[in-house]
Structure 1
Amino acid sequence: MTANPMLADWTTPFELPPFGEIEPAHFEEAFDVSMADARKEIEEIANQEAEPTFANTIAALEKSGEQLSRVARTFFNLTGAHTSAAFQKIERDISPKLARHSSDMLLNAKLYNRVMALWEKRETLKLDDEGMRVLERYLKMFQRAGAGLDAAGKTRMAEISQRLATLGTQFSQNILKDESDYQLVLETDQDRAGLPDFLLGAAAEAAKERGLEGKHVITLSRSSIEPFLQFSTNRSLREEAFQAWTARGEKGGETDNRQIINETLSLRAEKARLLGFENFAAYKLDDTMAKKPANVRDLLTRVWAPAVSQAREEEAKLSQMAQNHGENHNIEAWDWRFYSEKVRNADHDLDESEIKPYLQLDNIIQAAFDTATRLFGLTFEEIEGLPVYHPDVRVFEVKRDGKHVGLFLGDYFARSSKRSGAWMSAFRSQHKLDGDVTPIIVNVMNFSKGAPGEATLLTFDDARTLFHEFGHGLHGLLSNVTYPFISGTSVARDFVELPSQLYEHWLSEPEILSKFAVHYRTGEPMPKALLDKLLAASNFNKGFETVEYISSALVDLEMHLLDDPSGLDVAEFERRELDTIGMPRAITMRHRIPHFQHVFSGDGYSAGYYSYMWSEVMDADAFEAFREKGDAFDPQMAEKLLTHIYSAGGRQDPEEAYVAFRGRAPKIDALLEKRGFAA
């Protein structure tokens, strides 16, 4: 092998990964070498004879493993956004090794004793607030990993971590294979009946990417299948596509995830018991704003009742609409979006195909940038010719007051090498521990690309997704902390969605839409009448959306409250829980268990899918602060938002951070009003 670029100093502009030089095989050597180096650094910190100080223990840990972090960030960004069989093989091999590496550090008794010693004498260390917070978080991390267990307990914790890493990787790869293997080829006019030009153009591009030039293909990417379900008049094809979409991960054969789920839940429950918790949900929530499962259930059930009531009213309207069109069948899950579009058109004189020409991808990107300029003084300049991992990726330099803030990468289009969904990640996080390190942030989407020479057009939901992920991106870009451990989005899971969900509000501001929602052919702004109708319909179908989300969150919670999940029949459990909460028959969970990647592709949102709604209580209340000022861009509120939320990382307890911004704790009333459920 030639010199390994993953182990060399990067001389690329802004020290971007040299993507053009990187091959999958480079990562095998890079992981081995960087893990060995990191282990050596950890051992030196743990075994030093000097008494523990913040500098020789905590700050030293913060500086250790820098090369391993660089290798891992690059690798896992690629496996999510542009993977291959070679990458997947390495991922299956390296995931348990990385878990073992992490366990070796977190279960190191000498290291834990040094951290504990610092904590016990913390009042004498003269730390600033940020340093104290980092020390507290390190102690909590060690304890939650099992550092206080006996030898047998530590051994078992390490085994569990490795196995869970393997299972999470396999779960993700199974979903990606199910998604990339499926294609609904539209051969005839009957197959394509009802589909608007923008969807046919995207379907032609999808076909071209899959080697079927001249045909039309619907994929399991949400931006492909949802508009197909919305517009296709071919009910049998809607059913076929919907069944394939909801059956991901439970089709039998090598990509079936049900046994993986069973083993994952059992191992998580065992891990929780080892650490003295009754179940995994209790363990996971102990380190969040919610604190206890009962608090999560209270919030979700409070919103569930009005959501179901509204969803049933919505279903009655859909049934009436179907009858008006001579259809007497029950409304099924594959009918909901189709008839919802017709009801929305009837009730609000609003048609998705009428809106979409005004929502060009490039303009919505600029709208997100312009909002950040007005709120936080940021500027964005696109730079061509920088190394990227795929030709579709765009790079922007972000500045404030003329000074470099960081790089923002936008990867917007669906492809078979990319997992589904939308997310923000970092190739490098901000910190000031060893010089002023600026962030490199990426947003990854799965929008359907427009036909050659045509603009890529978004639905309003797509546009909201872009604003959401850019809110996460700003959380990473605007971070202004000393320590990597609390940089950017390194906050409580049920707080991390606040900056992203709050940012969505600005998309709906008339002054943003009137400026950036312009027709892709004529350049004319969206007519005020259409804009007014769009905003007036903001809560249309909100019962459906809320029910599909909360059902997923409640099922996630209940799975992780099980004392003994071994032998669980996943499908039967899902059916039983949905029956218990009174799930409307014509609505499915937003994420059914066998493809619930938030929960089983790693444990980031395990027992934590509720976090979106927990954060929504805050985001609705937070935007109300701007409304109270009478200005969505009020400079005083924007400065407080920057100081206490977007730039603060995890330097403060999240409840304290919110109160510092708002002046009080959040109230649920704004959320209920936002979703149209207020009394």
Structure 2
Amino acid sequence: MTTASPTTDAATGPFAERTWTTPFGLPPFERITPAHYLPAFEAALDAHNAEIAAIAGASEAPTFDNTVGALERAGLDLDRVAGVFFNLSGSHTNPELQAVERAITPRLARHGSAIYLNPELWARISAVDAEAEALGPEERRVLDRYRMRFRRSGADLAPDAKARMAEIAGRMAELGTRFSQNLLADEGAFALPLDGPDDLAGLPDFLRDAAASAARERGGQHGHVITLSRSLIEPFLVFSTRRDLRERAYEAWSKRGENGGDTDNRGLIAEIVALRAERARLLGFESFAHFKLDDTMAGHPDAAMDLLRNVWTPAHHQAAAERDRLQGLIQAEGGNFSLARHDWRHYAEKLRRAEHDLDEGEIKPYLPLDGMIEAAFDTASRLFGLRFEELTDVPRYHPDVRAWAVRDADGSEVGVFLGDYFARASKRSGAWMSAFRSQERLNGVVRPIIVNVMNFARAPEGEATLLSFDDARTLFHEFGHALHGLLSDVTYPLLAGTAVAGDFVELPSQLYEHWLEQPEVLRRHARHYRTGEPMPEDLLKRLLAARTFNQGFATVEYTSSAIVDMTLHLSSAGEDGLDVLAFEAEALKRIAMPAEISMRHRAPHFAHIFSGDGYAAGYYSYLWSEVLDADAFDAFREAGDIFHPETAARLRKFVYGAGNLQDPGEAYTAFRGRLPSIDPLLRKRGLAA
């Protein structure tokens, strides 16, 4: 994105144009500067306020169309500005955008509160009579969801409590923004230089190449560097034979957000937890966790905790057995030390080689990034009939971004898919899906613009970027989310795409991962990046045989994070000045967390739950959705065809295309014919007795 000049007339910039004449209506990224955003937000907020005032103050009797439908037609300019801005603030930020983010997020939170706490507007929504108007199922669902949103935002509270709810919303927006920016600063500040052969000991060529690319991007003062991008640091922890360097890298990774100074997140967490607990009490809930889960499939924290405990027990037992085998390996090599957290991945890789004759360096040449993108596309084509046409001459916000037009089997346009695959300093860590524009039909035929953002380590210029199997799984996971957005087939924006219950939203993404692990898909797409030869059958069999290897570790790492998240939000600890590290340590002690394993996300860098409310008291949802996805893929196995047309058609209709048209339990039952059990999940993770 270009930098604004002092003479930029932001008020007449791209956001002032009623429509964009770019291909597919893509945002004209090259013309948008940081100076455009605040004036665009100002104008859009003013317009939305006027629309809300007209709806709330209408003299006509309230109907679905003049009240709820009008709300769905309002705020389109604000959606457009926010859609561009918040995507770029995560994937390609800079100091100017961060300043805008700090300024605008509390204002947007106050704006949203003013809408949901507007008594005249709430009275009109409450008065809409679905029976008298003979509303259809989708309209009834929209009405129900609006009423739920208003109640959960405090519409029924007394004036003083409403005012406090608005204050909390504004402050929470500030805190979440600061948390994210602190985390990005900590991640960007660290680089472990690798100077000379000794520092590179044990690193395979692909990792040396990626570390060299990272060094060049960091200014070239060193030949190789390891950054805190997961696609660099995790393989470094796997392959480096320098235990001292592994410890330094792991310490930096583990301590993001708790290094003191301006970027320390511990104080922010204490305030966030306290404000969440206060908001829940104002709404009549026992805790924030009770509030959050009241509108989910789980329905209550006890249900989520029961699932976590049911998985924790066998995972904990298996992790102990894995630990003992790793310690035995250390001793067999003559090591006179106990297995530590920065050792686990290194020795697990050695054990995997020994037990499965499998080496990550042997696998990666068969998983080039372009090949895995094609595998994800081909899977979508075989399941849903989709076609992908790469676009070369369209606007993009960074040169790395690739774009594809997505078409249905009959050639009709579905939407546009953007892929932003490589790590860079301007991008927050992790991987995610988002929308620049969501599908709907209320305001004309609006086709989605969906983006997947990754943080893969880039190969040197002219070389193919090679993925680990975990990287490839991440690509399939996020593309599953993308399909959820692309295949959305609803009328009302409120119900579109991924706007579903938090513990249902991971079903489309986690289910899609299953196809990557199918021999039929790997035989077709896992091809050597130089020769084009398919993965040897023996290697493929060894790879698939090792799928449940180290699953005790992986499950303990994830489940401990989910348990701490839920425990934290069941408490009111923040109100007395939360010591987040002490709370975390005590929560882990109660579940007998193995000393050799750390949480996947420790609290000071747990962006899922502190950068916003999305996964707060909801990190369990990955496991809840995994119960669904393991059972859902069994539907294809039972049909005898992993691309079974009738099963795929039901999947598209009731899951990928349905948005929030139904209660998630009803939607799953419509696809599968019943609700699932936990057994397929335990088998999938190798935890079944």
* Fold conserved between structures, TM > 0.5: yes
Which runs of structure 2 are paired with 1:407-418 in the superposition (5 Å)? 407-418=416-427
Corresponding residue SS for 2:317: helix
Amino acid at match of 1:209: E
Q: How far did 1:55 drift?
A: 0.5
Corresponding residue SS for 2:574: coil
Instruction: Name the residue aligned to 2:50.
Output: 40
Corresponding residue SS for 1:369: helix
Instruction: Name the residue aligned to 1:512.
Output: 521
Aligned pair 1:572/2:543, yes or no?
no
Which runs of structure 2 are paired with 1:393-412 in the superposition (5 Å)? 393-400=401-408, 401-412=410-421
- In structure 2, distance between residues paired with 1:563 and 1:454: 52
Kindly provide the CA deviation profile for residues 401-459 of structure 1, in whole angstroms up to 9, marking residues without a partner as x.
Answer: 11110000000000000000000000000001122110000000000001111100000
Instruction: Name the residue aligned to 1:309.
Output: 317
- In structure 1, distance between residues paired with 2:15 and 2:427: 22
Percent identity of paired positions between Structure 1 and Structure 2: 61
Which of the residues 513, 526, 543 maps onto 2:535?
A: 526
Aligned pair 1:172/2:174, yes or no?
no
Unaligned runs of 5+ in 1: none
Deviates more, 1:480-489 or 1:518-527: 518-527
Unaligned runs of 5+ in 2: 1-7
Instruction: Name the residue aligned to 2:593.
Output: 583
Instruction: Name the residue aligned to 1:209.
Output: 217
Instruction: Name the residue aligned to 1:336.
Output: 344
Instruction: Name the residue aligned to 1:540.
Output: 549
Instruction: Name the residue aligned to 2:79.
Output: 69
Instruction: Name the residue aligned to 2:638.
Output: 628
- In structure 2, distance between residues paired with 1:657 and 1:157: 33
Instruction: Name the residue aligned to 2:454.
Output: 445
Corresponding residue SS for 2:434: strand
Aligned pair 1:294/2:311, yes or no?
no
- In structure 2, distance between residues paired with 1:656 and 1:69: 30
Corresponding residue SS for 1:412: strand
Amino acid at match of 1:217: V
Amino acid at match of 1:61: L
Aligned pair 1:373/2:395, yes or no?
no
Q: How far did 1:568 drift?
A: 1.1
Which of the residues 480, 493, 500 maps onto 2:509?
A: 500
Which runs of structure 2 are paired with 1:486-497 in the superposition (5 Å)? 486-497=495-506
- In structure 2, distance between residues paired with 1:110 and 1:414: 48
Instruction: Name the residue aligned to 2:131.
Output: 123
Which of the residues 22, 34, 51 maps onto 2:32?
A: 22
CA change 1:526–1:213 in 2 (3 A) is farther
Instruction: Name the residue aligned to 1:140.
Output: 148
Q: How far did 1:294 drift?
A: 0.5
Kindly provide the CA deviation profile for residues 211-255 of structure 1, in whole angstroms up to 9, marking residues without a partner as x.
Answer: 116610100010000000000000000000000000000000000
Corresponding residue SS for 2:430: coil
Kindly provide the CA deviation profile for residues 158-192 of structure 1, in whole angstroms up to 9, marking residues without a partner as x.
Answer: 00000000000000000000001100010121111
- In structure 2, distance between residues paired with 1:126 and 1:489: 28
Which of the residues 551, 554, 557 maps onto 2:563?
A: 554
Corresponding residue SS for 1:446: strand
Deviates more, 1:165-174 or 1:512-521: 512-521
TM-score by length of 1: 0.99
- In structure 1, distance between residues paired with 2:43 and 2:442: 24
Q: How far did 1:330 drift?
A: 0.6
Instruction: Name the residue aligned to 1:11.
Output: 21
Aligned pair 1:89/2:89, yes or no?
no
Amino acid at match of 2:598: T
Q: Is the 8 A contact 1:204 1:213 kept in 2?
A: no
Amino acid at match of 1:291: G
Q: How far did 1:321 drift?
A: 1.0
Deviates more, 1:668-677 or 1:319-328: 319-328
Amino acid at match of 2:377: F
Amino acid at match of 1:109: P
Kindly provide the CA deviation profile for residues 21-53 of structure 1, in whole angstroms up to 9, marking residues without a partner as x.
Answer: 000010010001100100000000000010000
Instruction: Name the residue aligned to 2:233.
Output: 225
Instruction: Name the residue aligned to 1:658.
Output: 668
Amino acid at match of 2:168: I
Q: Is the 8 A contact 1:278 1:563 kept in 2?
A: no
Q: How far did 1:523 drift?
A: 1.2
- In structure 1, distance between residues paired with 2:173 and 2:321: 43
- In structure 2, distance between residues paired with 1:442 and 1:303: 33
Instruction: Name the residue aligned to 2:108.
Output: 98
Q: How far did 1:122 drift?
A: 2.0
Instruction: Name the residue aligned to 1:281.
Output: 289
Q: How far did 1:563 drift?
A: 2.8
Amino acid at match of 1:230: V
Corresponding residue SS for 2:202: coil
Amino acid at match of 1:125: E
Amino acid at match of 2:542: K
Amino acid at match of 2:25: E
Q: How far did 1:328 drift?
A: 2.3
- In structure 2, distance between residues paired with 1:506 and 1:640: 17
- In structure 2, distance between residues paired with 1:236 and 1:595: 23
Instruction: Name the residue aligned to 1:675.
Output: 685
- In structure 1, distance between residues paired with 2:16 and 2:310: 52
Kindly provide the CA deviation profile for residues 343-365 of structure 1, in whole angstroms up to 9, marking residues without a partner as x.
Answer: 00000000000000100000000
Q: Is the 8 A contact 1:497 1:612 kept in 2?
A: yes
RMSD over equivalenced CA pairs, Å: 0.7
Q: Is the 8 A contact 2:194 2:222 kept in 1?
A: no
Kindly provide the CA deviation profile for residues 452-491 of structure 1, in whole angstroms up to 9, marking residues without a partner as x.
Answer: 1110000000000000000000000000000000000000
Corresponding residue SS for 1:328: coil
Instruction: Name the residue aligned to 1:458.
Output: 467
Instruction: Name the residue aligned to 2:3.
Output: none
- In structure 2, distance between residues paired with 1:209 and 1:24: 23
- In structure 2, distance between residues paired with 1:223 and 1:328: 30
Corresponding residue SS for 1:371: helix
Kindly provide the CA deviation profile for residues 491-518 of structure 1, in whole angstroms up to 9, marking residues without a partner as x.
Answer: 0000000000000000011111111111
Amino acid at match of 1:371: T
Count of aligned positions: 677
Instruction: Name the residue aligned to 1:247.
Output: 255
Which of the residues 472, 476, 493 maps onto 1:467?
A: 476
- In structure 1, distance between residues paired with 2:302 and 2:591: 16
Corresponding residue SS for 1:123: coil
Aligned pair 1:198/2:213, yes or no?
no
Which runs of structure 2 are paired with 1:382-401 in the superposition (5 Å)? 382-400=390-408, 401=410
Amino acid at match of 1:568: L
Which of the residues 411, 425, 428 maps onto 2:437?
A: 428
Q: Is the 8 A contact 1:183 1:218 kept in 2?
A: yes
Instruction: Name the residue aligned to 1:272.
Output: 280
Which runs of structure 2 are paired with 1:179-194 in the superposition (5 Å)? 179-194=187-202
Corresponding residue SS for 1:406: strand
Which of the residues 640, 657, 675 maps onto 2:650?
A: 640
Q: Is the 8 A contact 1:556 1:609 kept in 2?
A: yes
Amino acid at match of 2:641: D
Aligned pair 1:161/2:184, yes or no?
no
Amino acid at match of 1:306: P
